[in-house]
Amino acid sequence: MPPTSGIFVYKTMKRLPSIKHVAFIKAPISKVYETLTTAKGWDSWFTNGTTLNLEEKRLEFIWTLDGPYKANGKETGPIVSAIPNKEFSFIWHEGVHDTTVKFVLDTTEEGTKIIVTEAGYSPTDEGMWQMLECACGWGEALTLLKFYLEHGITYRTAFNLT
């Protein structure tokens, strides 16, 4: 009889649980929101060639020879919500299926609380591995965003990447 806990349980689910990370950034909420809702904002800390149009509700992230693996990438999708200084969400294609990424912002005494969630992973082996990879990735991404907004440090400048 197969076990009813652990890795076997996810295959009986409709969707895997959401990824969730929380960070505190010592920057005004308006600056955090602007960084997340403009191509210039994303390109300043995470991508290099992004297009983002709030009016048309479309975005395209582009990575070119970035990070330790020198990976190229391109992800496109619709913007689901853009509520100034509160929320920004979009759909993109992760692995073999679409997921929804959502940033929720809140003002704190020292700056901004940011929560990022990603939902929609399929309960398959491939979906599980993609979710685990992205769970690590969003933790790294929030750290990069925090360092950029608090100290002006980016991965490219810290390691002389162009």
Walk along the chain (162 residues) and give the pLDDT tens digit of each residue: 444 555 556 666 777 889 999 999 999 999 999 999 999 999 999 888 999 999 999 999 987 765 566 667 888 999 999 999 999 999 998 667 799 999 999 999 999 999 999 999 988 888 888 899 889 989 999 999 999 999 998 876 544 444
Residue 124: predicted pLDDT? 86
Residue 154: predicted pLDDT? 83
Residue 14: predicted pLDDT? 77
**∠ CA(143), CA(147), CA(151), 5° rounding?**
170
CA distance 70 to 57: 29
Determine how many CB atoms are found less than 10 A away from the CB of residue 25.
23
Burial class of residue 50 in the structure, from the number of CB atoms within 10 Å of its CB (0-12 exposed, 13-18 middle, 19+ buried): buried
CA distance 34 to 17: 28
Whole-angstrom Cα Rg for the chain: 17
Residue 69: predicted pLDDT? 62
Residue 67: predicted pLDDT? 58
